[in-house]
Every structure is written in C-alpha cells, then in structure tokens.
A and B are shown apart, each in its own frame.
Chain A
Amino acid sequence: MLEFDGLRKSYGANQVLDDVGFAVRPGSMFGFCGSNGAGKTTTMRIAMGLVIPDAGEVRWQGRPLDQQTRRRVGYMPEERGLYPKMKVGEQITYFARLHGLDAAAAARASAEWVERLGLGARRGDAVEKLSLGNQQRVQLAAALVSRPEVLILDEPFSGLDPVGVDSLAEALLGQVRTGVPVVFSSHQLDLVERLCDSVGILARGRMVATGTVEELRRREAGRLLRVVVPDAAPGWAAALPGARVVSEQAGDTLLELADGADDQAVLAAALRTGRVAHFAWREPSLVELFRGAVAAPSTDEEVAA
C-alpha cells in the first residue's frame, strides 16, 4: 500500500494541507482531483521529500518514504524539468543512474525506453530541439526508466494532444498491470473517470471525498431523479412529498428525493400528467461529483477509502 497519512502543511498563516490522507493499492490507479491551489502539488512534493510536512507522513509498504526508498519512486513534476541541452538518450541514462542503476543497466534501460516511447530517431538530439509532446515523452521515460515500484505524476496529461493522452494512458495502465500503484493529478476528470480505480477530491487543503468512482456515485445516486414529462404543466412536481425540484425545463425535471421518499409515488404522479418519456435515477458524472464536493465548503463528509 502507498499511504498518505494525516499530512498537514502551512506557509505562515496559510494552511495549504489539513489532514490529507488516502491510500493506493498496488496495481491500482488513483486520480487526484482538485481545483487549482487545492494542494495537490504540495501533497505530491511531500511524498518526494521536496517539501517537509508539518505533520503526517507518506508510507510505502508500511515504511515511511525516505531518501533511500524514494529512488524506487518514479516522479513527474508539474513543472516539466529536463536539461535542455542534454541529449535524450544521455539524459534518460543519467536519471536512471541517479536512481541507482549501474552504468550498463542504465544505458540498456535508457535505450529500451527511448525505443518504447517512439523516440528512437531522436535519441541523439538535444531535448530543446524536440516538440513539446516529445519532450513530455522524455519526461515520462525519465520517470519510468528506473523501473519504479511507485509512480507519482503531477498533471501528466496536461499539454498532450489526444493521441499523446492515449499513449500515456496506455503506458500507465501497463505499469498498473505489473503491480505498480500510480497516483496522478489531473483536471481532465473524464480521463480520471476512465482510468482510475479510485479517486480523491481535494478542496482547500482537505480531502472532501475519496473512494472508487462507483462508491462516490452510489453516495450521490439514489438522490437525483430525472423525469421527462413533455405534456406536464409547469410546477407539476412541486407538491410531491419528499421531493425537491432541482430544475425544471419544458417538462425535463430533476428532482432530489429525501431519504425514504417513494420514487414510485413520483412515477405515478408523472404518469398522471400524460406521457413519461424518461424516468431514471441520475448517474452523476465525476464532473458533477467534483463540483458538488468542491463547491460547498460545508460538505465535509469524508468517505474512507
């Protein structure tokens, strides 16, 4: 298990992280969401030892991460960083060596990753001569070249075109299949929803929701009911017991049902207005979950992972 436990950090009076914690199983992908400035980067930097937390720790296999164990972590910082004038192959070899590979193994691993990420032809070029997409691949190679046991990636998908996104996603899923826990942060929630086994939502330095996408959905599901009744008069659902109208537009009605309210009573009422075109519990998208979690400062319901 990769565990983030009780992380706290403040810069002066500004509390950036307040008791942030979640766990990632080996061989699973964890999507880390949150609005800008929520504290995602700080959390990841704490894991990499770049920021010292005021409290809490990050553990891998039950032991706190330290300088020695961190070399088994592949890291991609939010601000991409490579030596601009260094050649692609040499650069990746260098990072492999910093992670403890000997010269021969590092050269081999570098050649392998350069080839795998389709950079074979650019191996002898300086990084600054590469396109941004290719630079991103070099960055990924630098994170993967040491065969890390853990991957921590800060916004790995930002700035990639759809093809790049797909190939990066494929590479990450490949890592997950070999048993590596992968944590990545992203604003692209559809991507998180598609790739991740579990999700954490960070808002204002606090974890407002963690769990699998399914768990989060279930928490929200059973509350929103969408009924489309084209022939109904406006306000048809206003008097229904236990139901609150969230929105209503030309018969397309979104209702929030209180606990214990009878959905069949709602259906009966809908049928009384005429034809019912649609009647279903609403599956909230991650975007809606995210909005709901981030928007209201009072939603402090934390779901244990």
Chain B
Amino acid sequence: MSAPNSTGRAPGSSELVRLVAGREISTRLRDKNFLVGLGVTILLLVGLMAFQIATASGGDEGRLGIVGDSSALGPAVQAQGEAVGIDVTVVELDDEDAARAAVEAEDVDGALLATGSAPELLVLDRDSTMEAVVNAAVAGVAVTEQLAEAGVELTAVPEVEVTALSGEDDAAEQEQVLVAIIGVVLLYGLLIMFGQFIAQGVVEEKSSRVVELLLATMRPWQLLAGKIIGLGVLGLAQIVIIGVISVAGALAFDLVAVPGDLVGTVISVVLWFVLGYAFYAAIFAMAASLVSRQEDLGSVLTPMILLLVVGFFIGLQAASEPAGTMAVVTSYVPGLSPLVMPVRQAAGEVAVWEIAVAVVIMIVAIVAAVRLGGRIYAGALLRTSGKTKLREALRAERG
C-alpha cells in the first residue's frame, strides 16, 4: 500500500448527484419486479390495442359467396351489411360444391345458394350477424320482386339524415378523452409506483443505516436530488416508451380519427407526469424520512396516497363532466391538477391561460415541497430510532 494520497478530485455537487442517480437507475433496472411491472404494462397496452383492433374489425368485413343470380342479391346484401356496420364483399360461385368448398376453406364467411325457390345459407359455424344480413337481403329482394310482379311501382325509400346536436367532432373528442383517461390511469399508477420507490429507497437507507456513511460524503439535498432525478429519469423513460408505443400502435392500426390530437394529449400527459412526479417525489421522500422501518411506511404515506386517489377519481369524473365546478376547481389544486387538467385539456374545455395558471401554481407548490421536504428529510435522516415528529425534524436539521 502506498502512502496515503488524495486520489482524484473532490467530487462536486453535480457529480455526487449523478452518482446517486446512477445507482438508483442501475438498481431498478436490475430489479426483477420493476422489469416485470414494465413488461406487464406494455403487454396490457398492446393487448388493449389488439382488443380494439379485434372488436373494431371483427364485424367490419365479410365475404359472402352467392350461387345463382347475384345481380339483385349482391347489392341488397351489401346495403344490409352497411346498415349494421359490415363491409360485405360478394363473390360469385359456380355451384353448390364450389360453395361448400369455399366455406370449408374459409375463403368466404358464408355462401348463399339462391338457385332454388328456397334459398339456403351455408356457414361453417352459425353466425347471427351474417344470418340477419342475408335474411334481410333475401327478404327485401323477394318483397321487391313480388311487389314488382304485382305491378306496384316503388319509389326510393327515403334515407334518414342524422344531425349531431353536440357538434360534429364529438367522436374525435370522445376518443381524445378516452386517451386522456388512459393517460390519467397511467399517470396515477406511475406516480404511486415511483413515489413508493422513493419512499422505500429513503427508508432502506435509514433502516440499513447506510445513510450515515452517505452523509459523511455528501449533503442531504444532494442525496435527495440524486434519488429524485434518477428515479424520475426512469419514470419519464417509462411513460415516454408507453406513449410512443400507444401512438405508434394507434397510428399503425388506424385506431384514431385525428392523430394530431392524440399526440397532443399524450404529450400533455407526459408533461403533467413530470410536474406531478416532482411534487409527489418530494413529499413522499419527506414522509418516508420520518420513519425508520419499512413497516411504518404505510402510516406516513397514507395521506399522500389518498391525495393521489382523490385526484384519480376526480380525473375520471372530469372525463364525463369536464366543465363541472369540481373539475375546474381541482384542475388548479397542486397535486390534483396533474390528474385532472390533462382530461380537461383533452376534452377541449380549457383556455391556454388556464393551463398556464395551473402549471405555475404547480411549480410554486413543487418549489415549496422540495424546500420543506428537503429540510425535513435532512433533519430526520439521522434519527434512526422509531418515528420522528415533523416539528422535531424541522428544528433539528443537521443538529
């Protein structure tokens, strides 16, 4: 061993913060639970999209083979299909054998034998939608033919025109609100998850007493900042990955009407995540620093989690009533706004200045939470016995 020397330089604040953040990230990235959680979330999302595609296209298209004269039946079937939302393609088949073969090969969803007086529908499995469409078409054609034979002149059946009173782009708006709801569910889940990560990390350091060793090399705020930033980067990466997958999937499978609005909503959810995370990370860390054992964590975290739950439910409620007093008021309340404002934004009920005010209030609250939380954290960190009272921690900063 050589003589004692001063190897390296004194690590600066940013370097210490980076080291702490790096440790948080590498620890979580090797945590199986975290990875499984991320995988499950992505799977759920992909599953949700697959479900959307399946339900949206399940009755979307159909192929019907017709044996016999399809000149009248073909358009009739297509018209009936359109009425129930099925895009029917008519295929002409030569005879019954060809029809059977086509049905069995699943080349067509069904084959109509319209050669005799009693039409027959061949299907692989019974399918009520297909039956209804074909029945209606056959009946319609038969009635028309009989009326024609009887000499009745048919005028065109009038078509009913539909006027939506709530505006034309209602569907698109609904879609956006749906996206915002999914976003709020995600936001809520991620805020709770990363809040818990922060809290558990703080208590782990306290209960394992490693915090004393850490504080011999750095200030409490550096440790806290490293933790919050490290986990924040992970959380942000996670929500961005989810956002990108959803947008890409929605665009690729053509699930949304207005892609621009979808992207806007996803971006606003991501930005609100950043604000919400900064706020909740600070107060979760503060609360966690007051206890020394994982078992005691529940009791100090309950109020914060309740706040999140309240925000979550108001957010959901705001989806159905974005202009309600409850939604409007809570979209300014720090801590609740990240869960309510994205929904209001998606519903298109907010002016830019309203968003700006909510963001500013939130940022002020974040600054306050970080300062107060940091002080309490610093004061309570080395009190490793039992529970520390708030006032004690405030007074005892590095005492």
Which residues of A come within 8 Å of B, CB atoms?
11, 45, 48-52, 67-68, 70-73, 75, 77, 79-86, 94-95, 97-102, 105, 142, 146-149, 174, 178-180
Contacts and interface: CB of A to CB of B under 8 A. Distances in A.
Given A148-B4, A178-B4, A98 B214 contact: yes
Contact of A100 (B3, B10, B23, B208): B10
Contacts of B287: none
B7 A49 contact: no
Contact of A149 (B4, B204, B214): B4
Interface string B1-31: 1111111111100001001000100010000
Nearest to B384: A79
14 contacts: A11-B399, A45-B212, A50-B398, A68-B10, A70-B217, A83-B208, A83-B210, A95-B217, A99-B8, A99-B11, A102-B8, A147-B4, A149-B6, A178-B1
Given A49-B215, A81-B210, A84-B204, 16 more contacts: A11-B399, A67-B219, A71-B11, A77-B209, A81-B211, A81-B213, A82-B208, A85-B27, A95-B213, A97-B11, A98-B217, A100-B8, A147-B2, A147-B7, A149-B4, A178-B1
B4 A179 contact: yes
B218 interface: yes
B289 to A, nearest CB: 15
A70 B10 CA distance: 10
A148 B11 CA distance: 15
Contacts of A81: 208-213
A70 B216 contact: yes
B211 A179 contact: no
Interface residues of B, number: 33
Contacts of A82: 208, 210, 213
Contacts of B212: 45, 50, 77, 79, 81
Among all A-B residue pairs, the 8 with the closest Cβ atoms: A81-B209, A81-B210, A79-B209, A100-B8, A77-B212, A48-B216, A149-B4, A98-B217
If over half of A's interface residues share one DSSP class (helix, strand or loop), that class is named, otherwise mixed; here it is: loop
B27 A86 contact: yes
A111 to B, nearest CB: 15
A213 B2 CA distance: 29
Contacts of A102: 8
A179 B4 CA distance: 7
Given A77-B213, A81-B213, A83-B204, A178 B7 contact: no
Contact of B5 (A84, A85, A147, A174): A147
A98 B19 contact: yes
B305 to A, nearest CB: 24
B288 interface: no
A180 B4 contact: yes
B382 interface: yes
